């Protein structure tokens, strides 16, 4: 467990000691100078750059070995020498004088660690690995830099100029916090950095010269925004980068029954969570109730994510929710996801198309709305597809198989049912159109199932061993996605 207390230390105008004159010392000196420290270097040998710094008076140079008592009077001490005796001496003397000390590559001789830092403008992010792996820290730092280098520093600088106006207008902490969040979100969206919006109109007014105080007073009733985000077929790593980014910035999340819990338990997810799942055989929230919650939360000025399994617009009622939001005057944005019909077969080795075997793919539902006046699935057309993918078809699989056979599908055409696709609970049943219903019924699982029918299902014969040896995803546990991608 990392028990380090995270702080950012002010060294501007304060004395800092660096013991050592090599390349590692040079890195420490550069950082200290960037932070405004008054740097003294003690070392008998120096790199050319450190020599140049001493000539230009950027640093004070003491060209000799470290001597007892040298650390006294400094606000911070860094040792970048490979001499074990000097390392121990600097640490011991600094500790005795309560001077924060860091000895390079010696975690046991440090009272603080130097994280891997990304900095741009007023934004600075430091990564700590508790002294265990500086390399991993740097790799994670680079991922953070890729994520936040565009837009975020500029937005921070702009909202900083508005801080006094916000404080005057909203004296209590919670309302100030909300105003900061809404302006910052609107600024990011305008820049194109990412994610959620709060009040883009508020941002435009402020940019055009209207005072922050008047603008914020006028805009307190501005509605938030709803994002319909596809979570993918089950494995939490299969959500898109954009979808994950928006989810982490949400203030409210309405989620389905089949959404992986790991997505909802991440350390950076602090949103209000509302379960609105629909599962067969259980009492569930009506669609009208879900629409009402989305509208109400957005009208509170909050950023709302409707987290849906697969893709929001593939058998997901996403269009119904967007229509309801638009009628209520709420802005909505759809973030596509990997739908089960493509993600699940691909993950186990079933290609939906094949140059020699399958030129057409058809997605159908095996469970239509019982309130429809007539069945909308044309099973005669479905029977002509090279590859047929059936959503929500396991409970009605016997009836579906019968309709296909009656419309000319051979009883021996390969078929597969994948229960819990891409999750740790995944189960794959193979057979033919004639016997797949009976085989799947023997499993008796309550997991969601996807049915795939076509000649490409035979590909499973060659990939069975690979599927069995696939490492577990630990989808039910919290995971740090950055670290996982680095080390898998």
Residue 1 within any structural domain of the chain: no
> Are 76 and 99 within one domain?
yes
Q: Are residues 43 and 87 in the same domain?
A: yes
Each residue's pLDDT expressed in tens, for the chain with a length of 488 residues: 778 888 889 999 999 999 999 989 998 999 999 899 999 999 999 999 999 998 888 899 999 999 999 999 999 999 999 999 999 999 999 999 999 999 998 989 999 988 888 888 888 888 888 877 878 888 888 788 777 777 778 777 877 777 777 777 777 766 777 777 777 776 666 655 543 333 444 444 444 444 444 444 444 455 689 999 999 999 999 999 999 888 888 889 999 988 888 888 764 567 888 998 876 555 578 999 999 999 999 998 888 999 999 999 999 899 999 999 999 999 999 999 999 999 999 999 999 999 999 999 999 998 766 555 567 889 999 999 999 999 988 888 999 999 999 999 999 999 999 999 999 889 999 999 999 999 998 877 677 899 999 999 999 875 543 344 344 444 333 334 433 333 33
> Among 202, 218, 234, which residue terminates a domain?
218
Q: Structural domain of residue 393, as residue ranges?
A: 342-369+376-468
Catalytic residue (one of 70, 200, 235, 256): 256
Query: Looking at the 3D structure of the chain, how many domains does it have?
Result: 4
Q: Does any domain span residue 282?
A: yes
In a domain, 76, yes or no: yes
In a domain, 331, yes or no: yes
Pair (77, 36) in one structural domain: yes
Residue at 102 is within a domain: yes
> Is 256 annotated in the active site?
yes
Cα–chain-centroid distance for residue 369? 34
Looking at the fold, whether 284 and 353 belong to one and the same domain comes out as no
Listed residue (50, 39, 41, 42) closest to 16, CA to CA: 39
Q: Is 82 a catalytic residue?
A: no
Q: Answer whether residue 332 is part of any domain.
A: yes
**211 and 256 part of one domain:** no
- 20 domain-assigned: yes
Q: Final residue of a domain: which of 173, 200, 218?
A: 218
For residues 201 and 284, membership in a common domain is answered with no
CATH number at residue 91: 3.40.50.720
In a domain, 454, yes or no: yes
The single residue of 106, 120, 278, 403 carrying the catalytic annotation is 278
Q: Domain holding 349: CATH number?
A: 3.30.950.10
């Amino acid at each position: 467990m990392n028990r380090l207390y995270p702080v950012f230390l002010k060294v501007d105008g304060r004395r800092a000691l660096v013991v050592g004159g090599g390349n590692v010392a040079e890195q420490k000196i550069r950082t200290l100078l960037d932070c405004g420290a008054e740097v003294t270097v003690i070392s008998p040998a120096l790199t050319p750059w450190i020599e140049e710094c001493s000539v230009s008076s950027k640093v004070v140079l003491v060209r000799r070995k470290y001597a007892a008592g040298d650390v006294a009077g400094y606000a911070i001490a860094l040792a970048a020498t490979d001499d074990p005796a000097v390392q121990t001496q600097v640490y011991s003397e600094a500790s005795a004088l309560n001077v924060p000390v860091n000895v390079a590559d010696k975690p046991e001789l440090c009272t603080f660690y130097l994280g891997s830092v990304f900095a741009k403008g007023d934004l600075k992010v430091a990564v700590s690995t508790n002294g265990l792996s500086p390399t991993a820290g740097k790799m994670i730092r680079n991922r953070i830099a890729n994520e936040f280098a565009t837009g975020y520093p500029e937005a921070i600088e702009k909202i900083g100029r508005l801080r006094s106006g916000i404080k005057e207008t909203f004296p209590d902490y919670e309302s100030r916090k909300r105003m900061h969040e809404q302006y910052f979100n609107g600024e990011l969206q305008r820049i194109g950095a990412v994610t959620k919006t709060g009040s883009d109109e508020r941002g435009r007014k402020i940019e055009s010269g209207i005072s922050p105080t008047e603008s914020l007073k006028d805009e307190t009733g501005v509605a938030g925004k709803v994002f319909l985000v596809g979570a993918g077929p089950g494995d939490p790593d299969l959500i898109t980068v954009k979808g994950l980014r928006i989810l982490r910035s949400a203030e409210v999340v309405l989620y389905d029954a089949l959404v992986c819990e790991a997505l909802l338990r991440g350390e950076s997810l602090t949103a209000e969570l509302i379960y609105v799942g629909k599962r067969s055989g259980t009492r569930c929230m009506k669609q009208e109730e879900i629409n009402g919650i989305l509208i109400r939360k957005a009208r509170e000025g909050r950023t709302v994510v409707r987290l849906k399994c697969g893709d929001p617009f593939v058998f997901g009622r996403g269009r119904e929710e967007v229509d309801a939001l638009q009628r209520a005057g709420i802005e909505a944005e759809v973030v596509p996801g990997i739908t089960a019909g493509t993600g699940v077969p691909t993950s186990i080795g079933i290609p939906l198309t094949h140059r020699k075997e399958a030129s057409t793919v058809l997605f159908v539902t095996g469970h239509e709305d019982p309130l429809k006046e007539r069945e909308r699935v044309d099973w005669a057309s479905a029977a002509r597809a090279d590859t047929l993918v059936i959503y929500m078809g396991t409970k009605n699989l016997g009836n579906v198989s019968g309709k296909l056979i009656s419309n000319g599908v051979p009883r021996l055409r390969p078929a597969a049912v994948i229960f819990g696709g891409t999750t740790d609970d995944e189960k794959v049943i193979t057979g033919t159109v004639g016997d797949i219903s009976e085989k799947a019924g023997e499993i008796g699982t309550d997991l969601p199932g996807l049915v795939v029918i076509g000649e490409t299902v035979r590909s499973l014969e060659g990939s069975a061993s690979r599927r069995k040896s696939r490492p577990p995803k630990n989808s039910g546990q919290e995971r740090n996605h950055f670290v996982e991608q680095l080390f898998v």
